[in-house]
Amino acid sequence: MKDKITLSSLERMKSAGEKIAVLTAYDAGFARLAEAAGVEVILVGDSLCMVVQGHDSTLPVTVQEMVYHTAMVNRGCHRPLLVADMPFMSHGTPRQALDNAGRLMKEGGAHMVKLEGGHAQVETVRHLTDRAVPVCAHLGLLPQSIHQLGGYKVQGRDSHSAERILNEANELQEAGAQMLVLECVPELLATEISLALDIPVIGIGAGRGCDGQVLVLHDMLGITPGKVPSFSRNFMEKENSVEDAMRAFVEAVHRGEFPAEEHCFQ
């Protein structure tokens, strides 16, 4: 078996210009396949609320449900870095965030937690990282803030909001965040942020200049009901098995072939 992926591994990949492949998974079986396909990071996303539980947003999923799914994924894989989403209203205060992050790590086996938000989360990120909880920040489109944003819209297209996202990325890194997910932002902004930060920047609908790419498993397999995000690609379409589709995704990310121009926002 190859060496276990750590945050230091991802930092070395960024420094070497090697792309990082990230997939979501929600149970042991798919986690096992993702590991075999060579992903560096598995994200137990709150997206499970939509693609597994059938809700129309990520808001209803609970901490207990995230712990449950994280533990299943943890039992199914050994090499990838395991990141767990902190669900809506689980990190309203630094103390609440620490309690819930502790559950995701101790009961679920997560190596890192991911939380959405910019300037308002800086104190929480610092509180967690000062207490040995690794944090992945998340900027751009924030699904947990969908009602506040008024829908699933590209963020950072005007100069004011672009500058705000860049400043928040720097603030979060300074507060101790060791990875950042950028969702649905223009490619030029995402590239600027990726170059400005020392930590790995993982894009989803954020263009080709990020240090890595993440897709929701069901989108990547083409089994999401209804409209599929324009930044996604059905990797199952030309493959004969789920593992082959995952491997095709990983190879496309590593070679810099995904995302392509049609998956990017300008």
Sign of CA dihedral 235, 257, 44, 96: negative
Q: What interhelical angle do 94-106 and 122-129 show, nearest 10?
A: 50
Distance CA 227, CA 194 (A): 29
Residue 165 tokens read as 């996202």
Catalytic annotation on 183? Answer: yes
Nearest to 214 by CA among 13, 47, 69: 47
> 35, 168, 183, 187: which one is catalytic?
183
Distance CA 124, CA 251 (A): 36
Distance CA 168, CA 165 (A): 5
Task: Please identify every residue annotated as catalytic.
Answer: 183
